[in-house]
Amino acid sequence: MSLEPIPPATSSATTSSKLIADMRETMEDYDGVGLAAPQVHRPVRLVILVQSKQELVLINPVITLLTDRVVRSFEGRLSVPGMRAAVDRAQKVRVQALNERGEALDFIAENFNAIVVQHECDHLDATLYIDRCDTKTLAFPQQLPQVRPL
């Protein structure tokens, strides 16, 4: 995974369809709800998400927080199984990006969908859930209620 933030100019609407297909397959293989390109060692600002049962490809996403209200969830990483921690995220965000055809996307994500998009977009700036978590809540899944990793 990239340790440095990825500049927005690195990605474009011409992002490889092969990369997108590979990321889809990886996300499905791990039963994930989101995957960022740096997680598959690609330095582009690209995220694939499942939001309300619809898959979205986000190129150069920009997130704007729309509320001070936060929701807490136990987050983890598909690439680091076995550890979770509580993370507070904005309950409602605006997402602006390009899709895989270069068309503008502009939508609102709330609650679980807002958590997922913030978690995945954090990877684009070399930020992990562990950087945002309440460290007193770090736990293994058997110590928690059944949770699905983000």
In the set 28, 100, 110, 120, the catalytic residue is: 120
Residue 150 included in any domain: no
Is 120 considered catalytic here?
Answer: yes
Cα separation, 37 vs 46, whole angstroms:
5
Q: 45 or 78: whose pLDDT is higher?
A: 45
* pTM (two decimals): 0.84
Domain range for 76: 8-143
Question: Residue 120 domain-assigned?
Answer: yes
Give the CATH number for residue 42. 3.90.45.10
67-117 pLDDT, tens per residue? 999 999 988 876 667 788 999 999 999 999 999 888 999 999 999 999 999
Question: Taking the CB of residue 26, how many other CB atoms lie within 10 A of it?
Answer: 16
Tell me if 149 is assigned to some domain: no
- Whole-Å CA distances, 80 to 91, 110, 130: 25, 26, 11
- Taking the C-alpha atoms of residue 127 and residue 119, their distance in angstroms, rounded to an integer, is 9
